[in-house]
Amino acid sequence: MTIEQMKMPQLGESVTEGTISKWLVKPGDTVSKYEAIAEVITDKVNAEIPSSFTGVIKELKASEDETLAVGEVICLIEVEGCEPDKARENEPIQSVDKNIGTSQVAAADVTISKARYSPAVLKISQENDIDLEQVKGTGKEGRITRKDLLKLIESGNIPKADARKPASNQVLNPVPDLKKEQLNTMQAKAIQSAVGDIEIPVTGVRKAIAANMQKSKHEAPHAWMMVEVDATNLVRYRESIKQEFKQTEGYNLTYFAFFVKAVAQGLKEFPEINSMWAGDKIIQKKDINISIAVATDTALFVPVIKHADEKTIKGIAREIAELAQKVRTGKIKSDEMQDGTFTVNNTGSFGSIQSMGIINHPQAAILQVESIVKRPVIIDGMIAVRDMVNLCLSLDHRILDGLVCGRFLARVKEIIETTTPQNTTIY
Amino acid sequence: MPVISYIDAVTTAIREEMERDSRVFVLGEDVGKKGGVFKATNGLYEQFGEERVIDTPLAESAIAGVGIGAAMYGMRPIAEMQFADFIMPAVNQIISEAAKIRYRSNNDWDCPIVIRAPYGGGVHGALYHSQSVEAIFANQPGLKIVMPSTPYDVKGLLKAAIRDNDPVLFFEHKRAYRLIKGEVPNDDYVLPIGKADVKRQGEDITVITYGLCVHFALQAAEKLASDGISVHVLDLRTVYPLDKEAIIEAAAKTGKVLLITEDTKEGSIISEVSAIIAENCLFDLDAPIMRLAGPDVPAMPYAPTMEKYFMVNPDKVEKAMRELAEY
Amino acid sequence: MVENRHKELGLSDEKVLEMYKVMLLSRRIDERMWLLNRSGKIPFVVSCQGQEAAQVGAAFALDRENDYILPYYRDVGVVLTFGMTAKELMLSGFAKAEDPNSGGRQMPGHFGQKKNRIVTGSSPVTTQVPHAVGIALAGKMEGKDFVTFTTFGEGSSNQGDFHEGANFAGVHKLPVIFMCENNKYAISVPIEKQLACENVSDRAIGYGMPGVTVDGNDPLAVYRAVKEAADRGRRGEGPTLVETVSYRLTPHSSDDDDMSYRTSDEVAQAKTKDAIITFGAYLKENGILNDDLEKQMNDDIMKTVNEATDYAENAPYAKAESLLEYVYEK
């Protein structure tokens, strides 16, 4: 003997409940399968409910006019033996393969390593100077989620980048905001100051220098070459006129002016050098604007001598003097430092005889004019004392190759070596 | 190799299949004696007779429905809708019947019918002779939708459609009929339905499109190449179900994707292509997915000014490509 | 003794008894389906009750080895005649894997069984009509002499697919039998709100085919009309429209309450013409059926129905993930 339950059937597609309007049986009655046991009213139909079993009514679970949800037990029937219905209960006999759902998900998986950041994560990390390498991700396979970063920001415990591996962010970053990125790396968290150390805040100018230098050094593949120039003629010439020049003009006729002029001339003849990297193209500039490096005690400025090729040595000397004065007195304006196409750096002024310049981004090259020093030189098999100077060129190898740079340097060398009262006018 | 037009490739494919298999027949309006309003069935009536090239009453649901019945019996009907715009009365037959026959009968019955229709604008056809209707059918599992761009693809894919044991909608761009010519081998070949085709290899940007727009993309790609921009062009060929692998591969290749359709934009084929890329290529994208499509107005107006505004053309494609390349 | 009407139709006593047995089996299966629905075991029933005579009379007039049938959702009597079994119908009612119609994918009443040339159908009404025309066209092209037989309700005779299909068959003189089982109601809307003409068969003339209206409660009258239509078709004379007039004895479906649009008196009145009673009486009056035989027949049928119910109830469902199969050919 088993007790079977009769449940409220779903009478109609959208029906959720039924009301027993009349019981057609009472406890103790014997019913056969499919014999009506109750009348039920629903929103859609009125119907007699047949028994699903042959047996004796044990208990009515609901009274007349009571409303029951579909699936609720309405009465119990005592059944002899085991009805064949026992096996059914509308369950699939072949059970559903539980793995199907997960295996589909697995198939759709893409291999996400920690280093693959979503655009949203990258953006937040940049805006908040978060070093993603130090963040522990809670996503699948350790991926850092947007929420991970928002939580970090909220906690105020933002891990900053480690200065010892300054390039790491760029390597992983598909859309680098270089300036910002590189400045971030300057904010070295790992280097702590000790007692007696002086902490110097990084000011706007220092920041800009740092960013520009790092951008250039990181972005442009630098190559380097040097030529040795015999400046004996130049030295003699300048010596012969510098006194008079100073008296007439009121400012110094520097060697540097000769070099700037020679470079401007060389650029005119080798316009490839006077160009810029623009991502998918190289822009060859029409104007020859020479940036010159002018140092103060704490910073480095690069004012520009515009249209240097159109100016005389005197004119260049004058501009150098004026620009240097403005820099030292803090009066230099930003438009006077713009539109440079090539940089000449007077490293010789502090005694250097050889140096490797960092290209002034986005220019193609920078020339370092070193100290003029007297050295024994062999000319025509005889030892002579000559005024020698090294010219060092750093070049962006994306734009320039050794050949054209070599020719350019040879030309500048030639101009300097043949600087004489006969060949060269100051005015 | 002979060079033939897009429409000749249609006729050739049908003729060869009718010669090869006696179960293949054609039915539609004006397909018989006249050879079709576009002449796509030209010469077939003379060669195969009125029993196999049937001029039907003017009633699209019957053209589709009768074809479906014959296909269930075991024939290989090719039903022609005179214009894709006029397929609407047959939508119930195509979606409720053809698409579901194999599925609803638990593989007991099948429905190997091909329904051909000329689609597309730029021919002064106004609202009801210019539409692209593929998106209406492109969420109906059970259907396949083929939209070839070249005569070579037309022949290979139409033959494949006729031999396919499931219903295939075969949409032919009516402007391509006589505009596009290409090399088509004389031999009997089929191309796989469901496979996209790389029409041009490139490195900088990826264009994914189908139909006539493939030619616009190829023309623009040629121009961009002279400026050093290298364009990868994927021709979907089958717009439903989509070749997801090929789409993902093409999108990931350059990370910059331009999707083009002549259809109106919202809910179009390229909307789904875009979703596939978004689902699968987050870490490969280098720019937002870009879409070039018709405006969201009911259909293409008659006046040439408005038609031009609506239609995708090589200039619009080139402009979009440059914008994406510069991103 | 009433007039023997079946002999002149070429029907033997055994044949008409067989017809009655199929009618009765149809009725008993249908009644069981209702009980199963009301006890919550199957979600849906759509009924044949009141139309068994038209269905069985028509199906017996066809070539059960060669003709193609495209039944509509009430045609239990048609598909039983064409070889589907009580067990298979019950499997369909319970939506089990073995259901030959759809493997449990479709609601009951959506028939299809290729081995018996029962062409798969759907729920949007009348879509099967152009299919019947297409199969007849294919048969003609292949030189076969089968006919196609399709049924639909009087409401469906307003659908475009009826008119487009009938016209196509008329123009191309195809061997199609269009049979409208007019049961007076399209769910709740009565015939006078469905048609402006008196009979559905009046529509035939527009498509160049004969149209006849016969008593749907008289299986012999339906047999005669369909037999003539089939013969015409096989002779190459084209299609025929047959209208059988009867009455739907149940609500439209298990989800419908018919008392909201018609009276119990009207239903009771119709039940006096129920062919299960009237054709049984005809057989008895002709000495073909007696009380003993009738009881024996009823017992046999109930045994069949019980066995079918038990089998189907205990049969497995298809695997859930099998729903992914058969979208396209494998």
Residues B202 and B169 in one domain: no
Domain assignment of residue A395, yes or no? yes
Residues A135 and A80 in one domain: no
- pLDDT tens string A48-100: 999 999 999 999 999 999 999 999 999 999 998 754 544 444 445 444 444 44
Residues B201 and B270 in one domain: yes
CATH label of the domain that carries residue A59: 2.40.50.100
- Is residue C237 very low, low, confident or very high in pLDDT (cuts 50, 70, 90)? very high
Residues B66, C167: C-beta atoms closer than 8 Å: no
Residues A405 and A270 in one domain: yes
Residues B163 and B38 in one domain: yes
Average pLDDT over every residue of A92-118: 48
Residues A123 and A82 in one domain: no
Sign of CA dihedral C35, C39, C40, C41: negative
- Residue B118: CB partners within 8 Å, gap ≥ 6? B38, B40, B82, B83, B84, B171, B172, B173, B174, B177
Number of structural domains found in chain A: 3
B118 vs B81: CA distance, rounded Å: 8
- Answer whether residue A108 shows pLDDT above 60: no
Residue from the list B228, B229, B283 with its beta carbon closest to the beta carbon of A116: B283
Domain assignment of residue B85, yes or no? yes
C27 labelled catalytic: no
- Is residue A10 very low, low, confident or very high in pLDDT (cuts 50, 70, 90)? confident
B157 vs C194: CA distance, rounded Å: 46
Alpha helix ranges (H) inside B138-284:
151-163, 176-179, 213-226, 244-254, 269-280
pLDDT given at position A196: 78
Token pair belonging to A371: 């100290």
- Is residue C58 very low, low, confident or very high in pLDDT (cuts 50, 70, 90)? very high
B165 vs C329: CA distance, rounded Å: 7
- Please report, for chain A, how many H helices and E strands are present, in that order: 10, 19
pLDDT given at position A252: 87
State the catalytic residue, choosing from C5, C163, C172, C261.
C261
- Answer whether residue B11 shows pLDDT above 50: yes
Domain assignment of residue B189, yes or no? no
Residues B150 and B276 in one domain: no
Residues A56 and A128 in one domain: no
Search chain B and give the residue with CA nearest C105: B104
pLDDT given at position C139: 98
Return the residue matching tokens 């053809």. B98
Residues B289 and B140 in one domain: no
Domain finish residue from B143, B161, B183: B183
Residues B227 and B145 in one domain: no
Residues of A in contact with B283 (CB under 8 A): 110, 112, 116, 118
Let me know: does A397 contact A223? Beta carbons within 8 Å.
yes
DSSP string, B165-176: SS-EEEEEETTH
Domain C7-313 has CATH 3.40.50.970: yes
- Is residue A335 very low, low, confident or very high in pLDDT (cuts 50, 70, 90)? confident
Strand order in the sheet with B205-209: B197-200, B231-235, B205-209, B257-264, B290-294
Residues B283, A280: C-beta atoms closer than 8 Å: no
- Answer whether residue A178 shows pLDDT above 60: no
Residues C321, A9: C-beta atoms closer than 8 Å: no
Token pair belonging to C100: 């030959």
The domain in which residue B11 lies consists of 3-183
Domain assignment of residue B241, yes or no? yes
Token pair belonging to C230: 């089939």
Domain finish residue from A145, A167, A188: A188
Residues A184 and A310 in one domain: no
Average pLDDT over every residue of A254-278: 92
Size of interface A-B (CB pairs under 8 A): 11
Residues B67 and B157 in one domain: yes
- Answer whether residue B127 shows pLDDT above 90: yes
| B60-73 helix and C128-141 helix, angle to the nearest 10 degrees | 60
State the catalytic residue, choosing from A65, A85, A287, A401.
A401
pLDDT given at position A421: 87
Residues A146 and A228 in one domain: no
Residues A268 and A329 in one domain: yes
Residue from the list A11, A48, A92 with its beta carbon closest to the beta carbon of C316: A92
- Answer whether residue A101 shows pLDDT above 60: no
Token pair belonging to A85: 């219905």
Average pLDDT over every residue of A292-320: 88
Segments making up each domain of chain C, as ranges: 7-313
Token pair belonging to C39: 């006890």
Lowest mean pLDDT among A11-20, B82-91, B165-174: A11-20
Q: What is the mean pLDDT of chain A?
A: 82
* Greatest Cα-to-Cα distance within chain C, rounded to the nearest angstrom: 61
- pLDDT tens string C97-119: 999 999 999 999 999 999 999 99
- Is residue B25 very low, low, confident or very high in pLDDT (cuts 50, 70, 90)? very high
Residues of B in contact with C325 (CB under 8 A): 107
- pLDDT tens string B229-241: 999 999 999 999 9
Residues A261 and A406 in one domain: yes
Tell me: ipTM over 0.90: yes
- Number of Cβ within 10 Å of residue C266's Cβ equals 12
The domain in which residue A166 lies consists of 119-188
- Select the more confidently predicted residue: A90 or C159: C159
Residues of C in contact with B105 (CB under 8 A): 101-102, 112, 114, 120
Residues B213 and B240 in one domain: yes
C298 vs A169: CA distance, rounded Å: 86
Residues of C in contact with B51 (CB under 8 A): 141
Residues B230 and B132 in one domain: no
Residues B201 and B152 in one domain: no
pTM for the whole structure: 0.73
- Answer whether residue A111 shows pLDDT above 50: no
